[in-house]
């Protein structure tokens, strides 16, 4: 999971970039049964967290958090990641890399105003529709010359890496930012 974030270095932006150590430890301590907890597609919420109650051929009985029992096709269910992967900074590290898990991770991070998340080589940004203190000069300085794995996800990490690569190899350089 994530490394410790030096609050002095990132200032007021720290809480918008990475979970605290206590929050990380709390996620790791939760009990989880990967054979029972799964994602079920839902029209209103995209996916619901459900618990498998009974398997019967290609039909599965699941229970929703609000106590409803549903019979669904087993092929509609997507595996859920253990809580220790909750709010993971790089979704490429998820045990189960599926649509439901990606959306859940992004939603959880966004709910804490942590808007940047890596997905392998890419940086995903979810627009918070409000100003966050993650674009200050101290934050720029905190990313300068640092390896991506040593800092939380941010567009500054991508920009600094691209700039460093450009300086090292001035030929054959291309960058795509969307």
Averaged over 148-163, what is the pLDDT? 91
- The pLDDT assigned to 89 comes to 94
- The pLDDT assigned to 59 comes to 95
CATH number (3.20.20.70, 3.40.850.10, 3.40.1710.10, 3.40.50.720) of 7-29+85-168 reads 3.40.850.10
- The pLDDT assigned to 4 comes to 52
Host H or E run for residue 99: helix 99-111
Kindly report the number of other CB atoms within 10 A of residue 82's CB atom.
17
- The pLDDT assigned to 1 comes to 42
pTM for this entry: 0.84
- The pLDDT assigned to 130 comes to 95
State what percent of residues in the chain have pLDDT above 90. 64
As a whole number of angstroms, the distance between CA 100 and CA 169 comes to: 39
As a whole number of angstroms, the distance between CA 10 and CA 2 comes to: 15
- Domain 37-79 -> CATH class: mainly beta
**Quick check: 16 pLDDT over 80?**
yes
- The pLDDT assigned to 2 comes to 46
Sign of CA dihedral 144, 146, 152, 158: positive
Domain boundaries, the chain: 7-29+85-168, 37-79
């Amino acid at each position: 999971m994530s490394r410790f974030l030096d609050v002095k270095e990132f200032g007021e932006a720290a809480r918008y970039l990475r979970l605290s150590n206590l929050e990380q430890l709390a996620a790791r301590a939760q009990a989880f049964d990967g054979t029972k907890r799964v994602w079920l597609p839902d029209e209103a919420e995209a996916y619901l967290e459900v618990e498998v109650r009974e398997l019967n051929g290609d039909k599965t009985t699941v229970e929703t958090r609000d106590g409803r029992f549903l019979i669904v096709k087993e092929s509609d269910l997507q595996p859920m990641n253990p809580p220790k992967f909750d709010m993971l900074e790089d979704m490429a590290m998820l045990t189960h890399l599926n649509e439901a898990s990606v959306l859940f991770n992004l939603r959880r991070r966004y709910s804490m105003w942590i808007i940047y998340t890596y997905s392998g080589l890419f940086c995903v940004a979810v627009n918070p529709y409000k100003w966050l203190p993650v674009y200050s000069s101290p934050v720029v300085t905190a990313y300068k010359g640092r390896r991506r794995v040593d800092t939380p996800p941010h567009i500054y990490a991508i920009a600094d890496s691209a700039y460093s690569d450009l300086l090292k190899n001035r030929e054959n350089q291309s960058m795509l930012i969307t």
